[in-house]
Amino acid sequence: MSRQTGLYGLMAEFDDVNTLAHAVRTTADAGYAAIDAFTPFPVEAISETVAEARGERHNRLPFLVLLGGVLGGIAGYLLQYWASVIEYPLNVGGRPFHSWPSFIPITFECTILGASLSAVLGMLALNGLPMPYHPVFNVPRFALSSRDRFFLCIKANDPLFDRVNTRRFLERLGPQHVAEVDL
């Protein structure tokens, strides 16, 4: 439907975080699932309600970070083992080739490096960033979402979405404005 109408969704603007929190709750309770809220700073309660409404309870990032850390650590240790024992065994002051205590610092650093890279790249990838174009920026007042305004968007691809009724619904939540978001 959204493809035909050229409409991404409807965007309501609020001037207060509590009004938005209440609006998101009400929208979720009304059964809308394709929703998103936009805030100038992280608001845990709103993020949780949105995730719940969209049926996305999981946050996969911690798992990715664990995986990155474990892989980084294993790779770091194996690199040292392979170089010092197999590929280039060098007698340094009679120390064993497999001097594992000496390999700990680099293994540790590689663990941190793998985990940190996964945290940053994983966060960006799961968020779909970088994203050069997004329809929400077609609403001129949306620029205020990075200053002091709070936005709630109901997407046109939601099964309950109706251009007129959804607009009426949003207007009852106490917004400053409701705007149509073009694709």
Partner 1 sequence: MTPETAIGPDGKPPLIGPGHTFATVTDKISAMVLTQRTPRVWWVGFAAGFAGVMLLLTTITNLVLRGIGIWGNNIPVGWGFDIINFVWWIGIGHAGTLISAILLLLRQQWRTSINRFAEAMTLFAVASAGLYPALHTGRPWMDYWLFPYPNTMGMWPNFRSPLIWDVFAVSTYALVSLLFWYVGLIPDLATLRDRSPTRAGRTVYGMLAMGWRGSARHWQRYETACLLLAGLATPLVVSVHTIVSFDFAVSVLPGWHATIFPPYFVAGAIYAGFAMVLTLAIPLRRIYGLQDFITMRHLDYMARIVLATGLFVAYGYTMEAFGAWYSGNTYEGFMITNRFFGPYAHLYWTLILCNVIAPQALWFRKVRARTGLLMLIAMFVNVGMWLERFVIIVVSLHRDFLPSSWGMYHGTRWDWGMFVGTIGLFLTLFLLFIRFLPMISISEMRTMLPEAAVKEEHA
Q: Nearest approach, Cβ of 161 to partner 1 (angstroms)?
A: 18
148 binds partner 1 per the rule CB under 8 A: yes
Q: Does 30 bind partner 1 (CB under 8 A)?
A: no
Interacting residue with partner 1 among 40, 75, 138, 180 (CB under 8 A): 40
- 16 near partner 1, rule: CB under 8 A: yes
Query: In this complex, which beta carbon is closest to partner 1, that of residue 82 or of residue 165?
Result: 82
CB of 122 to partner 1, least distance (A): 7
d(CA 43, CA 48): 9
Write out the binding residues for partner 1, residues 79-138 only, by CB under 8 A: 79-80, 83-84, 87-88, 90, 92, 95, 99, 102-103, 105-106, 108-110, 112-113, 115-117, 119-120, 122-124, 126-127, 129-134, 136-137
Nearest distance from residue 144's CB to partner 1, in Å? Answer: 8
Judged by DSSP in three states, 121 sits in helix
Residues 6+ apart with CB under 8 A from 113: 72
- Say if strands 177-182 and 150-155 run parallel, antiparallel, or are unpaired: unpaired
Residue 132 β-bridge partners: none
When computed from its CA atoms, the radius of gyration of the chain, rounded to whole angstroms, is: 25
What's the burial of 74, exposed, middle or buried (CB within 10 Å: 0-12/13-18/19+)? Answer: middle
Q: Does 17 bind partner 1 (CB under 8 A)?
A: yes
Q: Rule CB under 8 A: say whether 54 interacts with partner 1.
A: yes
* Candidate list 33, 34, 61, 71; residue touching partner 1; CB under 8 A: 61
Cβ count near 52 (within 10 Å): 14
- Helices of type H across 82-162: 100-126
